[in-house]
A and B are shown apart, each in its own frame.
Chain A
């Protein structure tokens, strides 16, 4: 079973119906959301996904937006707000919490397979042990569900633990294994290991800001990891805590990020808010059917992106690229918090 099966037109039909239902569900269950919809005059019918009312993602920093009563809240997730900023707060009930883990697993199955693979984590074990979990820790913890025999590349002091990696590779290096880390950490620590990671599947995320400062783009990242570690299966992903469980996954050839069947992106012209055609950059709106316990199903991000193609790649639907943060937006993102504040 794969969740990369729907072409753009089929996806549009499925999503517009389900997202319209969710809009009405949240309108009824979340008074502040209802207030926003009333203020902007949003009302059905919605003909296209792009017609649905969106929320700016930063509203989750300033407002408590949930569609379940307090006693049914099972987990509250927080984003990595940097100093002086309020983090986003995302409320999950038991069903939404289980669904997000399940759909994350279903999305990654297309590159990892059914089994929990032996897993190398390009981070330190201490990030998952902190009870007031950081966004980075939460990200690592979420991914750890997909692995087994979790081995951390960094020791408790944040130094490369070459011995642990060597033992891991002795146990698992000749079968398929999973490597996960934030993009910047992977770049910083994986290349110097001098290890043969040819059987590894690398999943990484967290943004390119720190790497862009070193003039390293995705193509260079992939080229160097292939040359220096033998890593040929490399998948970046784009996702955010405000739409937890939904990730946009890079295809095997590195030709863009693809949307799972239950999600999509709309690129909007930041001047007119109209949907931008493929090839034209704009703000990324992310839509997903997973947010059932909070109104996060249609979110306008502060990231710039561009659709590179539609139904023309290794998986169906749109493939897109994230170009970076909208210049005036505040800095935010797991990868960017490393070593700062």
Chain B
């Protein structure tokens, strides 16, 4: 599974979304499931899945799926193509 597919799976799990939900266009707080509490669960799930440590500023800046993908890239995970 590509890192982006893994990231999509992490999003669906942490935000309690159905297995076929599209997540690529998601933005923080644009859907009720992605609230501040879920955001922390999502960050923790990403840290576990990709063995990275995300700091506070990165956590605050991660306001969309696209930014989450960018953040992984910054941590050296996955190809440059997002």
Contact = CB atoms under 8 A, between A and B. Distances in A.
Chain B binds chain A: yes
Interface of A: 74-75, 98, 101-102, 105, 114-116, 128-129, 141, 144-146, 148-150
Interface stretch (B6-14, B16-24, B48-56, B68-76): B48-56
Contacts of A145: 36, 40, 56, 59-60
A150 B40 contact: yes
Contacts of A141: 36-37
Given A74-B29, A128-B37, A115 B44 contact: no
Contacts of B36: 141, 145
A101 B60 contact: yes
Nearest to B44: A148
B60 A105 contact: yes
Nearest to B58: A116
Given A116-B59, A144-B40, A145-B36, 7 more contacts: A74-B29, A98-B60, A102-B57, A116-B54, A129-B37, A141-B37, A145-B56
Contacts of A116: 53-56, 59
Contacts of B61: 98
A114 B53 CA distance: 11
A75 to B, nearest CB: 8
Contact of B60 (A102, A115, A129, A149): A102
A115 B57 contact: no
B37 A114 contact: no
B68 to A, nearest CB: 15
Nearest to B32: A131
Contacts of B56: 105, 114, 116, 145-146
A148 B56 CA distance: 10
- Between B37, B56, B57, the greatest number of chain A beta carbons within 10 A of the residue's beta carbon is seen for B56
14 contacts: A98-B61, A101-B60, A115-B53, A116-B55, A128-B37, A129-B37, A141-B36, A141-B37, A145-B36, A145-B40, A145-B56, A146-B56, A149-B44, A150-B40
A116 B58 CA distance: 11
A114 B55 contact: yes
A247 to B, nearest CB: 15
A110 B53 CA distance: 20
Nearest to A150: B40
A283 B47 CA distance: 46
Which 6 pairs between the two chains have the least Cβ-Cβ distance? Answer: A105-B56, A101-B60, A102-B60, A141-B36, A146-B56, A114-B55
Contacts of B59: 116, 145
A98 B63 CA distance: 9
A148 B43 CA distance: 9
Contacts of A114: 55-56
A152 to B, nearest CB: 13
A39 B52 CA distance: 55
A116 B55 CA distance: 6
Nearest to A99: B60
Nearest to A100: B60
Contacts of B43: 148
Nearest to B35: A131
Contacts of A144: 40
Contacts of A75: 29
A101 B60 CA distance: 7
Nearest to A116: B56
A105 B37 CA distance: 17
Contacts of A150: 40
Contacts of B63: 98
A148 B44 CA distance: 7
- Between A98, A102, A145, A146, the greatest number of chain B beta carbons within 10 A of the residue's beta carbon is seen for A145
Contacts of B55: 114-116
Nearest to A106: B57
